[in-house]
Structure 1
Amino acid sequence: MTADTPNERHDVSLDLSATMRTFATGICVLTTFAEVEGHRRHDAVTVRSFASVSLEPPLVSLAVRRDSDILGVLLAAEVWAVSILDVAAVDLAQALDGDQEARARALLTCAASPGDRTGALVLDAPGWLECALHDRHDTGDHTVLIGEVLATGGRHRRPPLVSVNGRLRALSEA
């Protein structure tokens, strides 16, 4: 067997989605809000693309589809919270992957409170962060948001929830 030359590799079809499904990613919930007729309307969405960018200053990134209905709300509010989920939140993660109406119903069922620094909902989760918009980059079919971390917290209870091979799973040491 010989190694592929660069020209031979171009003949292979590109299936980024299938390949990336093999990479385990943590599951988070992104929350933000809009001021509507004098009161706050919270929204949330499941996120699989979340990462630490810098410790000094404290920055994180997340990618949001450019055609998603929550992106405009995020950019207007310029603040959000990210709650890192554990295995007990499988149903919530699935519900918050739906349309805006389904997400609103799911938010009514979860334990959450407005964050002290942003007002975005912080879920009862093993880890959470409150962030303010630091920068944004429109790239491909997503907008990458860079958030300055304003507050953090949480506590470990159960194994983290991850996505791998298209399914939500518990991460264990086994």
Structure 2
Amino acid sequence: MELDLRTVMRHFATGVGVVSTWAEGPDIPGGRRHDAITVNSLIPVSFGPPLVSLSLRHGSVFLSDLLQSQRWGVSILAADGADTARLLARSRESRAKALETLPAVPGQHTGALLFDGPGWMECALADSFTVGDHLMVIGTVLATGVRAPRDPLVFLHGSLTPATAP
């Protein structure tokens, strides 16, 4: 029997968010380059101390930046955030262009960009370990914020879907 985890997991609804980080260096125009990606792998690990995890593909340039800065922001997207999610699910060059126009503010604790959505957090790298073809990063939550409740954006059956909260 062939294992087909991807097909099975298409039936499991997950929330959708944006994770942002940055890189610094003398070779970067302006000294700092922001990047952001769409994720559905955010998992709360512990509430005391507050820890979350992300799984990021080995070899991604975003992961490289995150490991360098050891800081990131997470913006949980509402149902109206599908366009933002699509824009930040593209190549690094496309994401860089999108970041020039998407409304975002740097977080006070990390400098990572925070986008519109019902909730956000800022994290610092606590640990990481290889899990298959991904690196799981564990972050200590440094700050959180909640805005007005809105219906969530979920990933289900391979597409972004607005969900209606009960």
Tell whether the structures are fold-level matches, with TM greater than 0.5: yes
Counterpart residue number, 2:129: 137
Decide which of 38, 47, 50 is 1:55's aligned counterpart: 47
Decide which of 18, 35, 44 is 2:36's aligned counterpart: 44
Query: Alpha carbons of 1:51 and 1:40: their partners in 2 closer, same or farther (altered >3 Å)?
Result: same
Cα distance in 2, alignment partners of residues 152 and 173 from structure 1: 21
Alpha-carbon shift at residue 36 of structure 1 (Å): 3.4
Runs of at least 5 residues in structure 1 that lack an aligned partner in the other structure: 1-11
Aligned residues between the structures: 163
Counterpart residue number, 2:15: 26
Contact 2:66–2:72 (CA<8 Å) still a contact in 1? yes
Structure 1 position 79 matched with structure 2 position 68 = no
Code of the residue aligned with 1:98 in structure 2: it is R
Query: Alpha carbons of 1:139 and 1:111: their partners in 2 closer, same or farther (altered >3 Å)?
Result: same
Decide which of 3, 25, 33 is 1:14's aligned counterpart: 3
Alpha-carbon shift at residue 67 of structure 1 (Å): 2.3
Cα distance in 2, alignment partners of residues 173 and 57 from structure 1: 28
Counterpart residue number, 1:9: none
Alpha-carbon shift at residue 109 of structure 1 (Å): 2.0
Q: Which runs of 4+ in 1 moved over 6 A?
A: none
Cα distance in 2, alignment partners of residues 110 and 126 from structure 1: 16
Q: 1:127-168, CA deviations, whole angstroms, 9 ceiling, x for partnerless residues? A: 000000000011110000000000000213421100000010
Between structure 1 and structure 2, the one with the greater Rg is 1
My pick for the range that moved more, 150-159 or 122-131, is 150-159
Structure 1 position 112 matched with structure 2 position 101 = no
Cα distance in 1, alignment partners of residues 52 and 88 from structure 2: 21
Identity %: 50
Cα distance in 1, alignment partners of residues 8 and 61 from structure 2: 27
Cα distance in 2, alignment partners of residues 67 and 95 from structure 1: 21
Q: 1:67-105, CA deviations, whole angstroms, 9 ceiling, x for partnerless residues? A: 211111000000000000011111110111111011111
Code of the residue aligned with 2:97 in structure 1: it is R
Code of the residue aligned with 2:65 in structure 1: it is V
Alpha-carbon shift at residue 27 of structure 1 (Å): 0.4
Code of the residue aligned with 2:142 in structure 1: it is L
Alpha-carbon shift at residue 111 of structure 1 (Å): 1.3
My pick for the range that moved more, 64-73 or 75-84, is 64-73
Contact 2:152–2:165 (CA<8 Å) still a contact in 1? no
